[in-house]
Structure formats: C-alpha cells, structure tokens
Structure 1
Amino acid sequence: MMQAVLEDVKRAEEHVLNFKGSIKGHRVVNRNRARRHLILMDDYFAKDALFADHFRPCFWIRKTVFDRLYHGARSYDDYFVLKKDVVETIGFSGYQKCTAAPRMLAYGTAADSWDEYLQMSKSTCGDAMVRFATVVVEVFVPPYLREPTVADTERLLTISEARGWPGLLGSLDFMQWKWRNCSKALQG
C-alpha cells in the first residue's frame, strides 16, 4: 500500500491534469491525498509517531479502540479501503476517513474544519462521518449494547458489593463515587 501511495505522490508531482473536472468551468483542487496520508501516519500511527503519547487527548479514545473501529469499518464497508478512481488517482485512505469522524465527534467541529490537516472536502468528511456512524451501529451495537445476562448481573453485583454497596446494580451515582466529595463524617 505504501508503495502505491509513494508512486501516486510522484505521479501527482510530475503530471499536471489537463481537465477541469466533470462539470465545465469547475476547477480541480489537488488535495495531495497521498502526502496527507503519509503525514497522518507519521503523526499518529507509525511506530515512532510524533504524537503517539497524545493520541487519546486528540481523539478522546484509546488507540486500541480506534484500531478496533478502523478494522471493523474496513471489514464492513469497502468505502474505508484505499482505492483508485477512474483516472487512476489514489483516493483517501481508510485512516484519513476514519480519523475525520472521531475527531469531528470529539471536538464537535464542522465537516469542513479538517480541510487544512487531512485535505478532505466538506462533502467527503460528511460522507465519512455518516458511513462511520453506520459502521459503529451495525458492527458494534450487537455485541456491546445487549441486555445483560445472568452472569453479567452477578459480576456487577459482586463488584458493587466489594466496593461497599451490596445490592446496587449499575447506578452511576454510586459506582463513580469520589470520597473527596463526601462530608467529613462519611469519609472512609
């Protein structure tokens, strides 16, 4: 894949497109997708990534969770697989598409806000967001958002009893209790 990306970068630098897009009068913006893919990989996904220690603050999820989402998206929808278009120009990589959606969700930004960094248009970011959300619902809701089994219920009751709350099942008010917020008489 990286060889194809590098070849496309070289071809894009050497070859000037002599058409103006599919609609007469519209100009084609060279988004340099392959170079932006390589920058993204160097920043977050390479072994010695520039922002390896800052992945979670940037995406608000762990890198392992992102990897699971990325591979789930690739296996469910081939939209997230790197392909070439009709004129043999390499498209956006799956990493670029899967990076735009969680960052838009994490920061609550508009679709056109990632044009600077990822060089993706507003329509591509919006499409990636819709398809990413569809993948999350279709692939990850059935195994993770299901009714608890008897074993799950017993495990949760054991955990809450070990924390000093016997019989409590899934109340966030008490499961996430911070003793520093309690009165002095109740601490300990």
Structure 2
Amino acid sequence: IGWGRAIREVIQAGLPRIPGVLTVAATGGMQQQAPHFQINEFVRLAAEEFGGTPHFIHAPYLPSSELREVFLGDATIRDSVALWDRTEVAIVGIGLPHAINPPEASAATLSEQALFHAAGDVIRHYFDAEGNLIPWEGESRMIAMSPAQLRAVSLVIGVAASPEKATAIIGAVRARLINALVTDTKTAQAVLEALLPR
C-alpha cells in the first residue's frame, strides 16, 4: 500500500474481507503530519478491513545512505521489505511533480533540474509523459518498492482523481508502474482527451 489522499479515501470507503492477507507499506514513512502521508496507519487500517495481518516499516522512506543500511539490517524491517518481492496486488497513488504541487513533500527540491520534466510519480519514482523514468539524487537512498518490483506485481492499481493528473496517469501506465486505474469520470475523460491525436 502506498500513500496519498486517494489511497486514504479508498481505505476509508471500505475494503473487501480477504482473511489472512498480508498487508505491507510500499515505502518507509514521511516526516509529514498530514493524514494522507501516514502510511503505517494506512497499512493498519487496510489489514483491519481485510481481516489480515499488517506489516509495518518503521523507517523513513529517505534516510541517509548510512542509515538506510542500518534500517535494512533490522530483522523486522528486513522481513517487511522482503514481502515486496512476493506482492500480488499493490495500490498506489499517482502524484504530481513538485513544480505543480509544491505543498506535497520533499523527496526532492525544485532545484532538482531533472524533475522539471516530470509528469508525475508513483511512490517517488518520477517519470515523464512518455513513461521514461527520471532518476533524481535521493532515489538510491529510498526505502521503497523499486520500479522493477512494481512491474513484477500482477495487479498494480493506481488511484488518482483530478483532471490535472491526466498526463501523470498516462505516464504512470507507460512507465509500467501501474496496470489498472481507479478514477472518476472527469479524470477519465481528461485522460482520453489527452490521448487523442493532435
């Protein structure tokens, strides 16, 4: 499970019973107080809805390189992260680049020149409108599912609802970071219009 407003809304709307399912965070946590960044709480609530078992990652998603190795050396964190390679279904938000959405947090600053061309991100893996991944300075330090791990998951559901996210949604699909979409009618229409030949 990823983070974001849309993920929070999906969990609050209710999830089906899937007794015994293992639910794990797709990334470490963020030092943000907003409710839509509380990923371990999302995992707890989702597991409660499913009737499954939560697996938390009590580590920041963007530690220093040295601390990353320490966190990943912890048996509890290592066991949770190992579940990423066994994931059968993921649900993730589709974010806008910081230049468009500055209050959203801080994986990179606006001084990150490479990200000026980003159409969006999925758990802070940035991509352009054509689906090309855009590396950034902090990416190698992240405690998060990798693009390769996401692409290996049978069903990765992207959740996004805002016509402004049409290009980000298209980029996420082209990058193969999602292969299913939950959205609303206005956003779906914006996606279709963005795909029309010019």
Q: Which has the higher helix share?
A: 1
- Say whether the fold is shared (TM-score over 0.5): no
Relative contact order, higher structure (CA 8 A, sep 6+): 2
Q: Please state which band the TM-score falls in when normalised by the shorter chain.
A: under 0.3
Q: Which has the higher strand share?
A: 2
Larger Rg: 1
